[in-house]
Amino acid sequence: MEKQGVRLQGVGVGQGLALGPVIRMPDPLPEPADVPPSLDAEAEKARASAALATTAALIRHRGERAGGTAKDVLDSQAAMVEDPTLSDDVAARIDAGKSAERAVFEGFATFRDLLVGMGGYLAERATDLDDISQRVRATLSGLPMPGVPESERPFVLFAHDLAPADTALLDLDKVIALVTAEGGPTSHTAILAREKSIVAIVGASGAMDVADDSVVIVDAAAGIVTVSPTPEEIAAVQSELESRAGEVPIPLAPGALADGTPIPLLANLGSAEGAREAIEHGAEGVGLFRTEFLFLDATTAPTVAEQQEHYTKLLSAFPGRKVVVRMLDAGADKPLSFMNVAPEENPALGLRGLRALRANEQILRDQLTALANADAASEADLWVMAPMVSTVEETRYFTRLAREAGLKTAGVMVEVPSSALLADRILADADFASIGTNDLTQYTLAADRLLGSVAAFQDPWHPAVLRLVGEVGRAGAALGKPVGICGEAAADPLLAVILVGLGATSLSMSPSALVGVRAELRRFTLAQAHEFAQLALSANSANEARAAVLEASSALQHTNPTEKVE
């Protein structure tokens, strides 16, 4: 029997709350024995080839069923399976005397180790390769696909981590919450959980020590899993869940605080295809358009005409609305063969973002030209910004090139402490700043934002991170320059209120998070947002900051509830 009241701390996704019994993901397939195959090499290679093709097709089918971001993620997984380098590696191992099962196991393991060694975003994809390997080997052996267990009753799913193929198609009538021992707030698990509005906590150390059928409370807002809660705790959660179920949905009105202070709510997008979903969720524009997805699979930079076509499609979907486009953010976790040639010992601190663009200035100039052409062909309000700006000189360099290209609004991303600390000087030259909280948190706390072992440090509630956000907010207010937030922190409803209290004038997030953030903003006034921000800044840790603001906001709502804006 579990000890009553044990609490596990992780990183919550959203503000959901759930109560239910635990079911753990089944153990993975064991490592196949390294014994000679019973068939000849050609027959083994045919088996392996068929299993790879079948697995890729099944993953793509899941993506088609899931749609949205999940489809993009699963298409990427299927492309991994179809990589000719991988199939050649497997065939070579079979020629050397391995069975198809063993060759697949070793081939995927080799690629996995390669990604882990690269660190950052690519290291996070190592988990995807583990899942694919399991699926191919299950196909070879005629075993059931690994995945989420089935149950007749609703349950809380516990796992080391959850593969995108499983997250995308979770039965939300049965899986009421998700808890993983690994992963960070920007892992595929967290991103897909947020998109599907799944109550989730990732990076919860000790999660796999919790036994099946244990009753747990999953509080995503606090990032806490309570194992074997007391009867009083259960009753309190049941009452809160009943209260939430009776709430009237907030209409898709513009973002605003309870006192009417406007806070535009924008969408983070990676392609023009996401525009429709963003608009359906009430996005007032785009706060971050990630252009690197046009470049990632290319061996050469796309032409001005190719880029212009894509940008025009995006801008045309938002006539009269603001669209903020981030210039190519290459390097570190997103290396490009035609830009990042020399290997780096620590690529996260190397030639990335604007640094990489300056080293390849024609690519930057072409991108600015394509954006200027698209701007002329549409009615959107186009803003452009440079990634990973760390100095005043870099700011002046980028804004000069943007204006030479004919672009009227040029700003910078604030993702490193130096740019936050120099925000008053940077904003003297830039038209606006957009804070990328994912990178700002990792650089402030020296913790890789995609590495599960340090996920506890990757928490934008940390007072050190919030203090830097406040520096940018004050500079923006003093100079009359807009300050947006486009990192995952903006998707945390209560933290969004804090960010506004620190000076953020707009918030951008994944489209699915817009409804929850819109509702939370309408609960509080600007004065209350300032009070909460000071509470968070006075704390000594992320957990203390979160707990203090949660307590204050709950007390405020119970003693002097804010009148809702109709």
H helical segments located in 231-352: 231-245, 275-280, 304-316
Instruction: Give SS3 for 30.
Output: coil
H helical segments located in 142-202: 164-167, 188-195
| Angstrom distances, CA of residue 434 to CA of 138, 186, 287, 420, 515 | 46, 18, 8, 11, 21
Q: How far apart are CA 256 and CA 233, in angstroms?
A: 33
The helix (H) or strand (E) run that includes residue 48 is helix 41-66
Residue 341 CB partners (closer than 8 Å, separation 6+):
none
Distance of CA 64 to the CA centre of its chain: 21
List the beta bridge partners of residue 256.
262
Q: Which of 167, 160, 150, 151 is nearest to 59 (CA)?
A: 167
Q: At 217, give phi and psi (nearest 5°).
A: -110, 130
Give the CA count within 13 Å in the CB-facing half-sphere of 17: 14
> In degrees, to the nearest 5, what angle opens at C-alpha 332 toward C-alphas 394 and 472?
45
Q: How many CB atoms lie within 10 A of CB 540?
A: 9
Beta strands in 133-188 (DSSP E): 155-159, 175-180
> DSSP character for 425?
H
> In degrees, to the nearest 5, what angle opens at C-alpha 192 toward C-alphas 439 and 490?
45
Which residue has tokens 């050609």?
A: 42
Q: How far apart are CA 512 and CA 509, in angstroms?
A: 8
- Which residues carry out catalysis? 188, 486
Question: Six-digit token pair at 91?
Answer: 């065939």
List the beta bridge partners of residue 202.
11
In what order do the strands lie in the sheet containing 175-180? 6-9, 224-227, 215-219, 17-24, 155-159, 175-180, 200-202, 11-13
